[in-house]
Amino acid sequence: LKQSAKNTEIIELSTSFHTIKGGAGFFGLQELAEISGRLESLLLSPTFDAETAPEFQRLIEEFRSLAGSINYK
């Protein structure tokens, strides 16, 4: 990807995590809100690159696990 397209995708993804963070907090899903906030911050970090990729992958796995365990009624 070109740098500007990559930056746009990262900003869009961080915005999505920001939205999830707010919604999760509103519904009392504190763990999901916390992980979403950490993902958002990591994506917006000026040092987000290959060095932070392992942390990003770990958080994504936590996010998937928590989001998958929500009981929708």
Residue 67 has pLDDT above 90, yes or no: no
Judged by average pLDDT, the poorest of 27-36, 46-55, 61-70 is: 46-55
Q: Can you read off the two tokens belonging to residue 2?
A: 């070109």
Instruction: Please indicate, yes or no, whether the overall pTM of this predicted structure exceeds 0.85.
Output: no
Under 8 Å CB-to-CB from 44, ≥6 apart: which residues?
Answer: 10, 11, 14
pLDDT number for residue 2: 65
Dihedral sign computed on CA atoms, order 55, 67, 35, 49:
positive
Which one is predicted more confidently, 51 or 7? 7
Given CA atoms 15, 21, 24, 29 in this order, what sign does their dihedral have? Answer: positive
